[in-house]
C-alpha cells in the first residue's frame, strides 16, 4: 500500500487545518509509516479511503481523529528536561508572582502540550517541595493539556521507565515515586493529585478561549511542529490567557523572534522567559 502524492497533499492539509502540525515535502514516508497500521486496523484498502473516512461526521470518524492525533504526534519528554527553566521558576518566577499576590490567592500554571506528564509533574514536585507548606494561603493549580488521548492516559497513570527519570534529582525520585517490582517508577498520589490533565487542541480557538487568568505557561518543544501562522495564533492566545505580568516559557530551540506579538523577553540565569507587561 503506497501513499500517493495527491493523497499525501490532502492528508497533510487536513492535519494542518485540524492541528497546526506541518508535514513537509520530505515527511511523506513518516506519515505513511505512522498511518499504515490505522488503515489496516480499520480494514481499509488505501490511504485515499482513510482520508475519506476521516471526512465523515460519524462517531467512528471522530474516534478515528483521536487515533490520528496519537499517530502523528511526537511525544518525547522527560522529567526536569529543561533544568534552567525549572530553576528559574523556583528561584525567580514563583517568588515574584507570590510577592505580587501578597502571598495569597491562586497561582495557575499551565503545561501546554504536556505529553506523558513529566513536565507538569516536575512543576508539581517543585511546588510541593518549595512552596506548598511555606505559603498556606496560596492555592497552586497546575493544568496540563495535550491533543493526544493516549499520552494523557499515560500521564494520569503516572508510571515511568528509566528513560523518563534520567535527569530527575535522586531526592525527588526517592521522595515522590514508588518503585514497582518490574522496575518502573510510579508517581505518588500527593503529586498526581496536584495536576489536572485534559484533552485540548492548541489550534482550536474556541477551546483556547476558555483558558484565562494564567500566571505561567510552559509550552516547550511544541511550537516547532506548527506552521508560522499557527504558531503566531497560539502564542497570541497564550498572551490573552495570561494575567498581566504573566510568563511564558518555550523550548530551547524555539523563539518568538519575527513574530507579531506583544510578548517581551527577559534574561534569566541560563535561560530566557517571555512575559506580558503589566498594565
Ligand atoms: C515533544 S512533546 C513536548 C512535551 C513537553 N512539553 C516537553 O517539553 O518535554 C510535544 C507534545 O505536543 C503535543 N501537541 C502537538 N500538537 C498539539 C496541539 N495542536 N494541541 C495540543 N498538543 C499538541 C503532542 O501530542 C506532544 O505530546
Location of C-alpha cell 517571555: 274
> Mean of the pLDDT values across residues 222-244?
98
* Residue 279: predicted pLDDT: 76
**Predicted confidence band of residue 249 (pLDDT cuts 50, 70, 90):** very high
pTM recorded for the entire structure = 0.98
Q: Which three cell numbers stand for residue 278?
A: 503589566
Per-residue pLDDT of 61-83, as tens digits, reads: 999 999 999 999 999 999 999 99
Question: Three-state SS for 116?
Answer: coil
Measured between alpha carbons, how far is residue 103 from residues 109, 114, 212 in Å? 16, 28, 20
Q: What is the mean pLDDT of residues 139-167?
A: 98
Using the atom order of ligand 1, give the atom closest to the CA of residue 151.
27
Question: In the predicted model, is pLDDT for residue 43 greater than 80?
Answer: yes
What is the best residue among 222, 234, 237 to mutate for testing ligand 1's pocket, by most ligand atoms within 8 Å of CB?
Answer: 222
Query: What is the structure's pLDDT at 1?
Result: 87
168 lines ligand 1 (CB under 6 A): no
Grid cell, residue 92, equals: 525567580
Q: How far is CA 266 from CA 63, 93, 107, 254, 270, in A?
A: 42, 11, 21, 15, 11
Query: What's the pLDDT at 183?
Result: 96
User: What does the block give as the cell for 124?
Assistant: 508539581
Domains of the chain: 5-72 (1.10.155.10), 83-275 (3.40.50.150)
Cβ count near 67 (within 10 Å): 17
Q: Which residue has the least CA distance to atom 7 on ligand 1?
A: 77
pLDDT digits (tens, 9 = 90+) for 199-216: 999 999 999 999 999 999
- 3-class state of residue 91 by DSSP: helix
From the list 73, 75, 164, 70, the residue with the least C-alpha distance to 115 is 75
First to last CA, the chain: 58
Q: Mean of the pLDDT values across residues 114-141? A: 98
Amino acid at each position: 500500500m503506497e501513499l500517493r502524492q495527491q493523497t499525501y497533499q490532502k492528508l497533510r492539509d487536513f492535519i494542518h487545518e485540524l492541528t497546526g502540525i506541518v508535514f513537509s515535502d520530505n515527511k511523506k514516508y513518516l506519515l505513511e509509516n505512522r498511518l499504515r497500521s490505522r488503515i489496516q486496523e480499520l480494514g481499509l484498502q488505501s490511504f485515499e479511503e482513510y482520508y475519506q473516512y476521516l471526512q465523515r461526521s460519524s462517531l467512528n470518524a471522530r474516534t478515528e481523529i483521536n487515533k490520528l492525533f496519537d499517530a502523528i504526534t511526537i511525544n518525547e519528554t522527560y522529567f526536569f528536561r529543561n533544568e534552567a527553566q525549572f530553576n528559574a521558576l523556583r528561584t525567580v518566577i514563583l517568588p515574584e508572582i507570590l510577592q505580587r499576590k501578597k502571598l495569597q490567592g491562586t497561582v495557575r500554571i499551565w503545561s501546554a502540550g504536556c505529553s506523558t506528564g513529566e513536565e507538569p509533574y516536575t512543576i508539581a514536585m517543585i511546588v510541593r517541595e518549595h512552596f506548598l507548606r511555606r505559603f498556606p494561603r496560596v492555592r497552586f493549580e497546575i493544568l496540563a493539556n495535550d491533543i493526544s488521548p493516549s499520552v494523557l492516559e499515560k500521564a494520569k497513570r503516572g508510571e515511568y521507565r528509566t528513560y523518563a527519570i534520567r535527569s530527575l534529582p535522586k531526592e525527588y525520585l526517592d521522595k515522590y515515586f514508588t518503585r514497582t517490582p518490574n522496575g518502573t517508577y510510579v508517581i505518588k498520589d500527593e503529586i498526581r493529585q496536584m495536576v489536572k490533565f485534559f484533552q485540548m487542541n492548541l489550534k482550536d480557538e474556541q477551546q483556547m478561549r476558555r483558558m484565562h487568568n494564567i500566571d505561567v505557561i510552559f509550552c516547550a518543544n511544541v511550537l516547532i511542529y506548527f506552521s508560522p501562522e499557527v504558531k503566531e495564533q497560539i502564542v497570541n492566545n497564550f498572551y490573552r490567557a495570561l494575567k498581566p505580568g504573566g510568563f511564558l516559557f518555550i523550548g530551547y530551540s524555539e523563539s518568538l523572534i519575527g513574530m507579531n506579538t506583544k510578548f517581551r523577553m527577559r534574561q534569566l540565569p541560563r535561560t530566557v522567559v517571555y512575559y506580558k507587561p503589566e498594565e
